[in-house]
Amino acid sequence: MQYRRLGRTGLLVSELALGTMIFGEEGGRGTDAATAGRMIDRYLDAGGNHVDIANVYAGGRSEEIVGEAVRGRREELVLATKLRWPMGQGPNEVGLSRHHVMNSVEASLRRIGTDRIDLLYMHGFDPYTPLEETLRAFDDLVSAGKVRYLGVSNFAAWQAMKAQGIAERMGFTPLIAAQYQYSLVERDIEDEFLGLFDSEGIGLVPWGPLGGGFLSGKYKAGDRPTEGGRIADTPDGYEESWHRRATDRNWATLAELETVAQAHGATPSQVALAWLLGRPTVASVILGARTPEQLEDNLGAAELQLSQAEMARLEEVSRPASRYPYRIVNQPAR
């Protein structure tokens, strides 16, 4: 496992991060605590040091499972969590107000059983709370030693840039990491965000790197997914729905992915992850493995090196249509 700087900091994170969104999730789709514990141990033994959680995952249960699993190995980890979404029924148990931020961090620290959060994300924009209020609360948490670094997720580009500008103007702790959906079948962020991250020294931490499992190679053109998979269970119109994934461009991308995989004796999942690791500003890619077998497969991406020609072929076949004004913005300056 290789390590990369997270943004402009001196903090090093493993190129593959362990996602925990379905740890503790009920209804048969989640990973139970015992299995999750084995997966965390395997990930750490493979050299991984970056575990990603959110307080909303499984209603807080994911944080509890991770905390229990890493007891005794906490110092090996860069532990990330996120806040913004509802954690109760009350009117102040949601959002990015100082009230909810402070309460959420204290609750996360208790669930995880730790004295600090290494990386804390705003999990989405809150139109009701001034960014100045949120960033002041985050900065106070850093000053108190309860949080070490700050990140952003699911903001529009102008919202993220505004937050970074406020932090710089007011002397608050800057944003150094950003979590966004990014894969060979979801490249929308390239229009605005890659340039923003490069300019502001923010490390990109992609989630959904396999497009909800579409890039694993288990689907074929003309098929419909069976129930129980992430794509099958997602309503049409949502990010990882079958309607959004089963397009001509995505089928062509999957075919090229399988060709490259065969050339390396690898799996399509490993090639999809390796492609992301070669993209600009990417610091660490979040693995969304549900089972130990999926995790083992994903970890193999750390050993895979794609040629420039293979990267270019995958980039070309998966490239989305150019949109205005980016057709103009992205032209050479001279």
Cα–chain-centroid distance for residue 7?
Answer: 15
Give the per-residue SS3 of 248-264: HHHHHHHHHHHHHHHHH
Cβ burial, residue 12 (10 Å; 0-12/13-18/19+):
middle
Q: Is 90 strand, coil or helix? A: coil
Q: Is 299 strand, coil or helix? A: helix
Sequence-distant (6+) residues with CB within 8 A of 171 are none
Structure tokens at 88: 């109760």
Whether 277 contacts 310, CB under 8 Å: no
- Report long-range pairs for 241-248 (Cβ below 8 Å, ≥24 apart): 245/185, 245/211, 245/212, 245/214, 245/219, 246/219, 246/221
Give dist(CA 225, CA 232) in Å, integer. 5
Give dist(CA 177, CA 1) in Å, integer. 20
Structure tokens at 224: 């419909």
From edge to edge, which strands make up the β-sheet containing 117-122?
203-204, 175-179, 147-153, 117-122, 78-83, 50-52, 16-19, 285-287
Catalytic residues: 57
